[in-house]
Amino acid sequence: MRTLLVLARISNLPTVWSNCLAAWLLCGDGSWGRFGLLCLGATLLYTGGMFLNDAVDERFDRRYRPERPIPSGRISSRTVWILSCCLLITGWGTFALLGGAPAIIAAILLITIALYDVVHKRTALAPLLMAACRFLLYVLAASVLNREGSPAVLWWGGALAAYIVGLSYLARGESTGGSATRWPTLLLFAPALVALIQRSAQPWNQWLALLAQIAWTFWCLAGRKPRGLASVPQGIAGLLAGIALVDLTAASCCGMPVVFLALFVLAILLQRIAPAT
């Protein structure tokens, strides 16, 4: 079971759910039964994508990351390929049940996930594909409510995509010993820019959420932890959990702040079970 949790990067699943919830709330009311199917489909696509990532990276991992599940012999490559295909197909099928638009957008998302997994070790543009996956998840959630063209969803989906681009380039720098002061750092503050442009009807909610997101981002970039805070993640792991705070900022005028904070905390706790990267 631990092997499957590691393969699925389970600590990132709470941020997938927070993406779905933020886009859902930005689009207004809808059937919570359909929301449940949205979260199920998103979970299946994300998990299938993570399995596919390890299957495709087998040769690389055998050379550079022998502790990963496949090269360490904890699970066979064939099993991972089969699980990946089953999860991705079932995930797409879940969205097909929700209508034509969700089926089409889910298909585009599935293709983008597969393309990222295949080329991410071969091109410096891979972070753009990862960002596109999160953006498409916002649009996919909105399409379940027939609101895929919602300006708020497009604005905040774009802000999240910029955040993911910044995070992904920093992750590449971290893995190669690069500095965290490069230009991608600025993209982590894209949500602040969108918050200024998209001022909500209850601005104090948004400002509190935005301050929390900015403070967490600075904490993750700080590098050194004060004594007594050794268990609080920093770096890329912390920024990945911080996706839930970006979603909180996006949907701050729509309520449910406690849910987003709970998903943020859950992401951090799950990082103790399975690494976020």
Query: Residue 277 domain-assigned?
Result: no
Whether residue 275 lies inside any domain: the answer is no
Got the DSSP string for 214-227? HHHHHHHHH--PPT
The alpha-carbon radius of gyration of the chain (Å, integer) is 18
- Residues 4, 259 contacting (CB under 8 angstroms): no
CATH number at residue 13: 1.10.357.140
Whose structure tokens read 């709330």?
25
Q: Could you tell me the two tokens for 89? A: 């197909």
**Tokens 């490069």 sit on residue:** 182
Domain that holds residue 215: 2-270
pTM above 0.85, yes or no: yes
Task: Give a three-class secondary structure readout of 36-78.
Answer: HHHHHHHHHHHHHHHHHHHHHCHHHHHHHCCCCCCCCCCCCHH
Domain count, the chain: 1
Distances (CA, A) of 46 to 22, 51, 67, 182, 247: 17, 9, 22, 29, 17
Q: What is the pLDDT of residue 181?
A: 46
For the chain, which residues score pLDDT lower than 50?
A: 176, 178-181
